[in-house]
Amino acid sequence: MGAVVLSRRHEWALLIVGGGMSERDGESEMVRRARRLRREMTAPERRLWWEIRDRRIGGRKFRRQVPIGNYVVDFLHLTSRVVIELDGRSHDDRFEQDAARQSWLEGQGFRVLRIANDDVLDDIEAVIEAITVAVSARRWPS
């Protein structure tokens, strides 16, 4: 049975919540995974979250560890449809998986901004500037 979609906005809400449902308690596996990832954030994730939470960048609301389809993205600015992914050493050997994930997200209308963990730790001002540009742009900068 398909989901009833009241508007385009509700359709995106269904996509974001997505994921397989547990028969035990009705909570999606993806939601449980996202909650665990919020509790176990890496140092670069905590650092960036501190900078972008509470509408600190121009009054814009960001969410962290958000389930979208079968993925959990690091950060999301839903209004501009910008996904922020932090890449550390664990991504060094995951190029194909990251490319497939990015392709799927872009196919859903999201723009993906990839930021190296080292950049967050070493030059947070430049990272915030890049995020500000990305969420402000109507089209992705080339």
Interacting residues of 22 by C-beta distance below 8 A, sequence separation 6+: 28, 29, 32
Give helix 43-52 / helix 124-136 axis angle, nearest 10°. 60
pLDDT confidence band for 16 (50 / 70 / 90): low
DSSP string, 45-68: HHHHHHHHSTTTBTTB--EEEEEE
6 — alpha (psi -120 to 50), left (phi > 0) or beta? Answer: alpha
CA 63: distance to chain centroid? 7
Of residues 46, 41, 57, 118, the one with CA closest to residue 87 = 118
Mean pLDDT of the chain: 82
* Range 27-37 average pLDDT: 83
**Of residues 44 and 7, more confidently modeled:** 44
- pTM of the complete model: 0.76
Check whether 11 has a pLDDT greater than 80: no
pLDDT at 140: 61
pLDDT at 37: 84
